[in-house]
């Protein structure tokens, strides 16, 4: 029996399920230059890679807590770059020598790091390497106790053989404004080589995603969610975050989401991030600088404690969500019915995220944001700004 629309997963009609693909037995006899092009095409997908920068003293403490210490090759590290390492290494590194050579060249930045390979992201840290392509990959820099500016300098001048460094950044409010955050650094006090690297990196950025990852948004249970309402609200259109690295930008969300866009719950105002970023650019590049960087607000719902890599886990997430709705809205022994979608086009669940233009959330304040006011949860009408839908790459 076909499940109701709200328990179905949105997918593009032209996408062929992997189970329908067949093995191509003639690949090995293709000309080498054609095989190399195919390997490279398989690699040319965008990823968002999450990493956290820890100061050396904390990194040593974390290693000691898990019963380890730095190997001799890592004694000179000033801090520790911790990467959620599951799926960061392409399978093409292990298919053949030819595919490995292509992958090594494609991921030209070989960043020494500490990998956490556990699916839940809380496993043992082991020394490893992040293979990274600045053109296609985004770094989602999470604010630890290390200095982001030092990391950007090393990425550009030491680890990238072309001395390009970061081109695509995904950053949240804490990484911008928290302790050691990018916008908390007074560039006038930074040593000249580091300052130069940071300024050049800011000037060359192609894309910046301001990440708003929320644990509330699809279900809002009155004041208990921090919302300024006593009502229980349902927003089936709100995309659900996955744990996969690859993503595909699909253009304007093709689903019938107009009604839900008029009642989007946000747990804080994204303009806090946008304003801080604009001040950083002004301080670093001057008032006359006209940035060519694409800037988008990434909005997504992340189910607490869940990791979603495939369709089976996505379906389980939707069923759990349905069970929570029934439980929380139960009154006098009868749950509140899920609003019927028979009278309108069905809204299937999307796994990935929305990208909104930065002006969707209103004009930016003239001065620094009032954090006590602007960080308050609210329900916003975003109906005038149809977002771009990004698929989270379920397999």
Is the domain of 200 the same as that of 85? yes
Cβ atoms 276, 176 nearer than 8 A: yes
Three-state DSSP state, 81: strand
126: containing domain: 47-205
pLDDT of residue 146: 65
CB 52: neighbour CB atoms within 10 A? Answer: 19
pLDDT of residue 73: 84
Is the domain of 241 the same as that of 114? no
Give the list of residues 6+ apart from residue 238 with CB closer than 8 angstroms, or none: 217, 218, 260, 264, 299, 300, 301, 354
Is the domain of 62 the same as that of 151? yes
Any idea what DSSP says for residue 360? Answer: G
| Measured distance CA(393)–CA(15) in Å, rounded | 12
Instruction: Kindly write down the DSSP assignment for every residue of 260-307, as one continuous string.
Output: HHTTEEESS-THHHHHHHHHHHHHHH-TT-----EEEEEEEE--TT--
Residue 291 lies inside a defined structural domain of this protein: no
The larger pLDDT score, comparing residue 175 to residue 337, is at 175
Token pair, residue 47, equals 């990823």
Nearest CA among 139, 304, 122, 281 for reference residue 213: 304
Residue 339 lies inside a defined structural domain of this protein: yes
pLDDT of residue 20: 52
Q: What is the pLDDT of residues 231-279, one digit of tens each?
A: 778 888 999 999 999 999 999 999 999 999 999 999 889 999 999 999 9
Token pair, residue 294, equals 């694409």
Token pair, residue 143, equals 């604010």
Work out the percent of the chain whose per-residue pLDDT is above 70. 85
Is the domain of 238 the same as that of 186? no
What is the bridge-based pairing of β-strands 219-221 and 352-357? unpaired
Return the percent helix, strand and coil in the chain, to nearest 5. Answer: 35, 25, 45
Cβ atoms 152, 188 nearer than 8 A: no
Band (200; pLDDT cuts 50, 70, 90)? very high
Residue 21 lies inside a defined structural domain of this protein: no
Residue 9 lies inside a defined structural domain of this protein: no
Residue 83 lies inside a defined structural domain of this protein: yes
pLDDT of residue 358: 94
Is the domain of 183 the same as that of 257? no
Token pair, residue 375, equals 């960080």
Three-state DSSP state, 52: strand
Is the domain of 237 the same as that of 307? yes
Long-range CB pairs of 191-198 (<8 Å, 24+ gap) are 193/153, 193/157, 194/149, 194/150, 194/153, 195/149, 197/152, 197/153, 197/156, 197/157, 197/165, 198/149, 198/152, 198/153, 198/284
Q: Would you say residue 303 has pLDDT above 90?
A: no
Is the domain of 319 the same as that of 356? yes
| Measured distance CA(29)–CA(308) in Å, rounded | 38
Domain boundary, last residue among 176, 205, 234: 205
Is the domain of 110 the same as that of 220? no
Give the list of residues 6+ apart from residue 75 with CB closer than 8 angstroms, or none: none
Band (195; pLDDT cuts 50, 70, 90)? very high
Q: What is the pLDDT of residues 111-165, one digit of tens each?
A: 999 998 776 656 788 999 999 999 999 999 886 666 788 899 999 999 999 999 9
Residue 15 lies inside a defined structural domain of this protein: no
Name the β-bridge partners of 331: 334
Average confidence score pLDDT of the chain = 85
Q: Would you say residue 52 has pLDDT above 70?
A: yes
Is the domain of 124 the same as that of 57? yes
The larger pLDDT score, comparing residue 274 to residue 27, is at 274
Work out the percent of the chain whose per-residue pLDDT is above 90. 49
Domain boundary, last residue among 205, 229, 244: 205
| Measured distance CA(187)–CA(194) in Å, rounded | 9
Residue with tokens 């607000």: 297
Q: Which of 203-212, 302-311, 316-325, 335-344 has the highest mean pLDDT?
A: 203-212
Q: Would you say residue 334 has pLDDT above 80?
A: no
Cβ atoms 361, 265 nearer than 8 A: no
Cβ atoms 214, 235 nearer than 8 A: no
Nearest CA among 232, 218, 217 for reference residue 267: 217
Is the domain of 338 the same as that of 192? no
What is the bridge-based pairing of β-strands 264-266 and 294-301? unpaired
Which class for 303: exposed (0-12), middle (13-18), buried (19 or more C-beta within 10 A)?
A: middle
Which class for 323: exposed (0-12), middle (13-18), buried (19 or more C-beta within 10 A)?
A: exposed
| Measured distance CA(302)–CA(352) in Å, rounded | 10
Q: What is the pLDDT of residues 337-374, one digit of tens each?
A: 555 444 466 689 999 999 999 999 988 876 555 555 56
Residue 32 lies inside a defined structural domain of this protein: no
pLDDT of residue 37: 94
The number of domains in the chain is 2
Is the domain of 179 the same as that of 88? yes
Model's pTM, two decimal places?
A: 0.90
Is the domain of 51 the same as that of 177? yes
pLDDT of residue 340: 45
């Amino acid at each position: 029996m076909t499940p109701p629309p709200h328990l179905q997963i949105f997918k593009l009609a032209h996408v062929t399920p992997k189970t329908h693909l067949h093995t191509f037995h003639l690949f090995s006899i293709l000309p080498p230059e054609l095989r190399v092009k195919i390997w490279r095409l398989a690699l040319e997908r965008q990823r968002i890679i999450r990493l956290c920068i820890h100061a050396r003293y904390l990194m040593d403490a974390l290693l000691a807590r898990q019963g380890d210490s730095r190997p001799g090759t890592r004694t000179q590290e000033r801090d520790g770059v911790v990467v959620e390492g599951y799926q960061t290494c392409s399978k093409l590194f292990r298919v053949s020598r030819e595919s490995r050579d292509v992958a090594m060249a494609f991921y030209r930045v070989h960043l020494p790091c500490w990998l956490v390979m556990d699916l839940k992201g809380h496993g043992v840290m082991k020394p490893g390497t992040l293979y990274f392509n600045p053109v296609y990959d985004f770094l989602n820099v999470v604010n630890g106790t290390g200095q982001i500016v030092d990391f950007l300098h090393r990425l550009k001048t030491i680890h990238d053989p072309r001395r390009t460094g970061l081109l695509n950044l995904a950053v949240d409010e804490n990484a911008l404004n928290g302790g050691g955050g990018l916008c908390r650094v007074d560039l006038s006090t930074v040593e000249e080589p580091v300052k130069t690297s940071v300024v050049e990196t800011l000037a060359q950025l192609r894309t910046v995603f301001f990440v708003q990852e929320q644990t509330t948004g699809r279900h809002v249970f009155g004041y208990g969610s921090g919302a300024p309402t006593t009502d229980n609200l349902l927003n089936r259109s709100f995309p659900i975050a996955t744990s996969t690295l690859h993503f595909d930008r699909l253009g304007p969300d093709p689903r019938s989401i107009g009604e839900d866009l008029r009642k989007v719950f946000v747990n804080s105002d994204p303009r806090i991030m946008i304003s801080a970023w604009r001040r950083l650019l002004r301080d670093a590049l001057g008032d006359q600088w006209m940035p060519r960087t694409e800037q988008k607000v990434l909005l997504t719902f992340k189910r607490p404690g869940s990791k979603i890599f495939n369709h089976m886990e996505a379906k389980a997430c939707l069923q759990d969500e349905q069970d929570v709705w029934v439980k929380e809205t139960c009154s006098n022994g009868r749950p509140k019915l899920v609003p019927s979608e028979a009278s309108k086009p069905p809204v299937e669940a999307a796994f990935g995220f929305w990208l909104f233009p930065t002006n969707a959330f209103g004009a930016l304040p003239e001065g620094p944001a009032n954090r006590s006011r602007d960080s308050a949860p609210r329900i916003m009408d975003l109906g005038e700004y149809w977002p771009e839908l990004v698929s989270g790459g379920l397999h």
